[in-house]
Amino acid sequence: MIYIVRHGQTDWNVKKKVMGRCDEPLNENGKEQAEETRRNLKETDLDFIICSPLQRARQTAEIINRDRDIPIIYDDRIIERDFGEFEGKETKDFDFYGYWNYYKNDTYKRAENIQEFFKRIYAFLDEINNKYKDKNVLIVAHGGVSIPVACYFNNNIPEGSLVDAGLVLGNCQIANYSKLKK
C-alpha cells in the first residue's frame, strides 16, 4: 500500500503564495494538522516513510513518526516542482492554471517544465513500485507532487488544468493507493 500525505500548512499557504523550493516551515496550524494526521495514521501499518527534504515535509514526517521510530528516507526526487520565476507570487499573478496543464507543456526561464516534473515523479514511483512492492510506504511530500502521484496510480492525465481536476491534496490530507501501476 502506498500512502501519500501533503505537508502541513505554512504561512505561504495561508497567503496563497506559490511555494516550490522555498524552504518554509510549518506554522502552528500546520503542526496541529500533522499531529491530527499522526493520530489518523496511528493504526496504519507502515514500513517506511519517504520524505521530501524540504523543511515543511520533514517537520510533518517527524510529527507523524513520533512514537513509531519508522525509518525516514529523504529523497530529492519528491521535492516540490521548481516554480522558478513564479516562486513567492500569488496564484492570481501569473497563469497558474496553465502552468499545471500537462498538455500545454510550456517551457519557462527557470521554472520546471510540467512534463519533466512528471518524469521525475514517475521514475521515483517506478522505483518504489519495484523496490517496496510488498511494503507499506508513506510518502510525505507536497501538493504539486500529489498531482503526478494521482495520475500515475489512476493511469490517467486529465485534460486542462490539473489543479482543477481535484488531484491536489490539501494540507495533511492523506491519499492511498492499494493497487500499484503495472
- Using alpha carbons, select from 37, 13, 34, 10 the residue that is nearest to residue 24: 10
Full-model pTM: 0.94
For 92, list phi and psi in degrees, rounded to 5: -80, -10
28 Cβ contact list (under 8 Å, min separation 6): none
pLDDT at 181: 47
Active-site residue, selected from the candidate residues 80, 85, 90, 142:
80
The per-residue pLDDT string of the chain (182 residues; one tens digit each, 9 = 90 and over) reads: 999 999 999 999 999 999 999 999 999 999 999 999 999 999 999 999 999 999 999 999 999 999 998 999 999 999 999 999 999 999 999 999 999 999 998 999 999 999 999 999 999 999 999 999 889 999 999 999 999 999 999 999 999 999 999 999 999 999 999 755 44
Q: Which amino acid is at 118?
A: F
Give the model's pLDDT for residue 133: 85
Distances (CA, A) of 161 to 76, 81, 93, 95: 25, 15, 16, 10
Residue 142 designated active-site:
no
Q: What is the CA radius of gyration of the chain?
A: 16
**pLDDT confidence of residue 179:** 54
Give 10's contacts (C-beta < 8 A, 6+ positions apart).
19, 24, 25, 26, 27, 30, 56
Q: What is the pLDDT of residue 69?
A: 87
What kind of fold does domain 2-177 have according to CATH?
Answer: Rossmann fold (3.40.50)
Q: Is 35 a catalytic residue?
A: no
